[in-house]
Amino acid sequence: MENIPTALEKPSHVLFVAALIFLAVMVVLCLVRAIIGPKVADRIVATNMMGTMIMVMIAILALMLQEGYLVDICLIYAMISFLAVVCLTKVYMGVYQEQKMKKRRKKEKEKNDMD
């Protein structure tokens, strides 16, 4: 008797599947944005968006399959995704500041050579 679907289970199942398909398409589009760029900031934002959408997908699967452990996996993934974005941002800022310092030194050197 427990396997008989109620009247609300089928529409909600269709809604969950539609949401998962929509999110999968959006993740692919974000992956394209992360690959194409053109700036590093665009890539970081796309990576963050992909992580957020994957967390939503895991949460929808947890509801759909009625498995509580998937919520724990979602929380762990959220922490890892946040840490990855922070690390990428830190690396990007370090590279940016290093390039800025090289340009400044080059300008100072050219100025000193002209004097």
- Both tokens of 107, joined, read 């300008």
Please tell me the predicted confidence (pLDDT) of residue 7: 61
Q: What pLDDT, on the 0 to 100 scale, is given for residue 36? A: 92
Rounded-to-integer distance, Cα 29 and Cα 109, Å: 45
Say what the pLDDT of residue 5 is. 61
Work out the pLDDT band at 95, boundaries 50, 70, 90.
confident
pLDDT in tens, 21-80: 999 999 999 999 999 988 888 999 999 999 999 999 999 999 998 888 999 999 999 999
- Average pLDDT over every residue of 88-100: 88
| Residue 29 in tokens | 């589009």
d(CA 54, CA 104) in angstroms, rounded, equals: 41
Per-residue model confidence (pLDDT) at position 108: 85
